[in-house]
Amino acid sequence: MRVSAGRLWSGLSLASKRLVGAGFALLLTMVGAVTLTMWDLRVVALTDARDNVSRLGIAIAEQTARSVQAVDLILQDLQQRIQRQGIATPAQFSAQLQNAALEEALHRSEQALPQANAFTIIGADGRLVNFSRRWPIPATDLSDRDYYAYFRAHDDPNPFVSQPVRSRGDGNWTVYVVRRVDGPGGIFLGLVLCAIDLNYFQKFYAALASGADTAVTLLKRDGTGLASFPIAARIGAKLPHTSWYHLVAQNTSGILNVPGFFNPGMRLISVHPLTDYPLVVDVSVLQEKVLSHWRRATTLVALGTFSAVLGIGVMLRALLLQLQRLESSESSLAEQNLSLITARRRMEEQARALQDSQTHLAKTSSALKTTLETMSQGIVMVDADRNVVVSNTQAIQLLGLPGEMMSAGYPFDDIIAYQKAQGEFLESPWRGEALEIDLSERLTYQRQRPDGRILEVQSVPLPDGGMVRTYTDITERQASQERISYIAHHDQLTKLVNRVVFQERLEDAIDLADRTGRGLAVLYLDLDRFKLVNDSRGHSVGDQLLAQVADRLRAAVRGIDTVARMGGDEFAIIQPMADHADASLRFADRLLQTISQPFDIEGGQCRVGVSIGLALYPSHAKNADTLLRHADVALYRAKAEGRGIACLFDQDMDARQQALFELEQELRLALDRAQFEIEYQPIRDVATLRLGGFEALLRWRHPSRGTIPPGEFIALAEHSGVITSIGLWVLETACAEAATWPPHLRIAINLSPAQFSHGSLTDELTDILRRTGLLPSRLVLEVTEGLLLDDSSTVLGIMSGLRALGVRFSLDDFGTGYAGLAYLQRFPFQVIKIDKVFVQDMVEKPEVLAIVTALLELSAALSLTVIAEGVETEAQLAALVRLRCPYVQGFLTGRPAPAEQARRVIDADRTAIDQIAH
């Protein structure tokens, strides 16, 4: 017969009721303690996840801002350069900025930044002015773009970030960073902008995300998605007007627990706006992933607790029955004996039930222990008497403690004393020890152990006066943050500090100089002939060369000096405590020698030189920007004076630099303004003085400066890169003119070394010969020994290709260079020109006459045609006639003259030949 619980309870005595009540109270206490512990573990897991996602969000936001800033700095520099040109109207803006040199500069800027897809300049009418991907510039109207409409209506000095669009070139998602260019009085002149490849951020976020459940999204401030990892399909989608959207729109950092939009699931989302740009980075992690370990542990503990409660409940109910029977046994002795027998049987059943309950309790305890031992964190629970209650093996290992110290009941203060004796807390002896001892405050802090490991310690006080403390090994996470910081401040190719760090250290060095009264030197270095190595042997060899140059610079400086890569093939050095210009110049001379030594790369040797500009503080400048600019001015002077030298800044250089800058700007426009002319100087047969051809000589007729000699602008054209387009114009014009001459006359044209490094000389010259109709055999290309020193293997390949077409080559200024005879053996020359220095001295100096005689005999033996330059007197001509020199050129036999006058010389020569024939 079943007895209800109410009847059982009412039939008990007061003492029995108290005993049963104590059992139920114990059962509820156990369930409450387990519930509280698991809830605290859930709070710890969520707090740790929030901290992790916030730190990762800050690091990624900072690096994203630097990537956008790198593009924006180039746009600001371009904006300032345009404004410094004094352009006053939109028409001037479009006219002056539409040139090939600027397109090449934009292309170099694009190549320097992996995130940049293209740099573009747009006029006030919305039409394309210049573009880094193509020359000539196609006629394109961009007035329908959102950034043009915005800046047309707003005089905003801040950068504008466009909506994402597909690139017309490769189909990738891009976004435009745009700045407005204003003229005098705030007139709208146009825009400068850069297309950023959003795949760059996709790859960058993929590299930094800590796992497949971590998501990174880049948005505009209006909620438009620009890049998202790992799901990129919703680029261009706009965030709904949720609490998350308002946090983005208000430009506010924060952490939310909301459903994801760009990446599915309930997520912890950390929002971080970018400083100075209308962009936001959010980093999120699945809440389900964060709580997965906690859920598994909770499930195991719940099952164990349920088993224990069930067993204890059975036991209590059996006890209730037993007590009721014992207390109601007032019948006869037979009935009492029968009750005792029944009670004994039921007690045996209860014993079995109790044993089962103990088994379940042991399993529950084992599950809880397994949970603690499989946690990645170390955990310690201390009671109000400061004794250890619970700990796990991970805590023992992370803290480096003997195992017995973490046993239950061990004094926590003895553990602190043992750690201090082992050298713990040395990095912060007062703060670290005090935080460890404190059990009353909720704390989160970091400390470094003597073995180098970095622990994050979280302490949660308990209501009874104890506490639960967790220890997390964050050494790898800290190292990752340090690696991100290193990448942001160093050049990845050379491992040198970058321009940002260089600027900071220069400011620090100036502060040190002001405090100590000592000096400071800044050296600005630019490699000579580096572009030739890059073009001829590839960018891989160029990168290795830059890395080796950086190694040599590091080895040459002192420990207190700073070496930085400023970009491309430019480096800079800060020398603190440098008081004497002579010492800094001697150091610069050592650098010239060091860099000029050959570099061994991929089984071959590379040679480059270096030009150095030097400026001193406080002699040459009073602040960092001016000091660096003056070092750059001195570098420009070093390159202008022939490269491979070091120049110390002086005040006159600034004025000369400005004059050179103005001349360079005018030179860039001279070709478009038709200011160049070609004059033709006759080359005549010595014996008959008949014409053999002409040499084409370039002249610059400046409208205000007059005629500018080639010696004043050719080097400037080579340095600025304009020589390539000027050289092509000279080839085209001279070949077209020579095609109208009698077929026996040749045209000689000088080539610049820059035209050889251009890479497409053979194709361009073939095109010119085809268009002009000039036979290749009538063209003579004059080169100097300086060209052959740069990269003889590349030059030899180009010369051999042109020689196969039938073009002839002449070695100019023969006898004044380095190793002329070696060049005659190696390179395919058919003509040599004896320098005018020998021709003008050979009449009065027998030793010079002997040299000319030897050169003529050598040339005859090698079947080379010889032209003597600079013939100005009858005595010089007579001497050359006696020596049987084949051809002469000079003022005596014909001055340089325009094409029309050269044709009259040809007609006169033809008339003379006809008269002789008749």
Task: Encode pLDDT of 824-860 as tens digits.
Answer: 767 788 898 888 888 988 888 888 888 889 888 888 8
Residue in 742, 748, 756 with CA at minimum distance from that of residue 786: 756
pLDDT score, position 469 = 84
pLDDT score, position 10 = 66
Query: Predicted confidence band at 715 (pLDDT cuts at 50, 70, 90)?
Result: confident
Average pLDDT over residues 243-257: 66
Condensed to tens digits (0 to 9), the pLDDT of residues 591-641 reads: 999 999 999 988 888 889 999 999 999 888 889 898 888 888 888 888 877
The more confidently predicted of residues 764 and 25 is 764
Q: What angle do CA 663, 666, 669 make, to 5 degrees?
A: 150
Q: With 90 as the cut, is the pLDDT of residue 8 above it? A: no
Q: With 90 as the cut, is the pLDDT of residue 23 above it? A: no
Q: With 70 as the cut, is the pLDDT of residue 28 above it? A: yes
**How far is 270 from 282, CA to CA, in rounded Å?**
5
In the predicted model, what is the mean pLDDT of the chain?
Answer: 82
Average pLDDT over residues 661-690: 85
The more confidently predicted of residues 233 and 346 is 346
Strand partners, 67: none
Query: Predicted confidence band at 159 (pLDDT cuts at 50, 70, 90)?
Result: very high
Listing DSSP states for 296-310 in one string gives: HHHHHHHHHHHHHHH
Q: What angle do CA 486, 488, 494 make, to 5 degrees?
A: 70
Least confident of 367-371, 460-464, 617-621, 817-821: 817-821
Q: What percent of the chain has pLDDT over 70?
A: 84
Least confident of 527-541, 543-557, 589-603, 612-626: 527-541
Condensed to tens digits (0 to 9), the pLDDT of residues 70-96 reads: 899 999 999 888 988 889 899 899 888
Q: What percent of the chain has pLDDT over 90?
A: 24
pLDDT score, position 818 = 43
Phi, psi (5° rounding) for residue 156?
-105, 120
pLDDT score, position 12 = 63
Condensed to tens digits (0 to 9), the pLDDT of residues 872-895 reads: 999 999 999 999 999 999 999 999
Q: With 80 as the cut, is the pLDDT of residue 14 above it? A: no
Host H or E run for residue 657: helix 651-670
Q: With 50 as the cut, is the pLDDT of residue 912 above it? A: yes
**How far is 115 from 118, CA to CA, in rounded Å?**
9
Least confident of 13-22, 119-128, 146-155, 889-898: 13-22
Can you give the length of the chain in residues?
Answer: 918
pLDDT score, position 819 = 42
Condensed to tens digits (0 to 9), the pLDDT of residues 316-348 reads: 777 667 766 666 654 555 566 676 677 677 777
Query: Predicted confidence band at 869 (pLDDT cuts at 50, 70, 90)?
Result: very high
Strand partners, 47: none
Average pLDDT over residues 639-657: 77
The more confidently predicted of residues 530 and 549 is 549
**How far is 204 from 686, CA to CA, in rounded Å?**
71
pLDDT score, position 229 = 80
Cβ-contact 697, 679 below 8 angstroms: yes
Q: With 90 as the cut, is the pLDDT of residue 549 above it? A: yes
Q: With 70 as the cut, is the pLDDT of residue 815 above it? A: no
Six token digits for residue 547: 């890395």
Condensed to tens digits (0 to 9), the pLDDT of residues 262-313 reads: 777 778 888 888 888 888 888 888 777 777 777 787 888 778 777 777 877 7
pLDDT score, position 248 = 62
Confidence (pTM): 0.41
Residue in 829, 831, 851 with CA at minimum distance from that of residue 840: 851
SS3 readout for 383-446: CCCCEEEEECHHHHHHHCCCHHHHCCCCEHHHHHHHHHHCCCCCCCCCHHHHHHHCCCCCEEEE
Query: Predicted confidence band at 1 (pLDDT cuts at 50, 70, 90)?
Result: very low
pLDDT score, position 873 = 92
Least confident of 90-99, 419-428, 893-902: 419-428
Burial 344-356 (b: 16+ CB within 10 A, else e): eeeeeebeebbee
Residues sharing a CB contact under 8 Å with residue 113, sequence separation 6 or more, in sequence order: 70, 71, 74
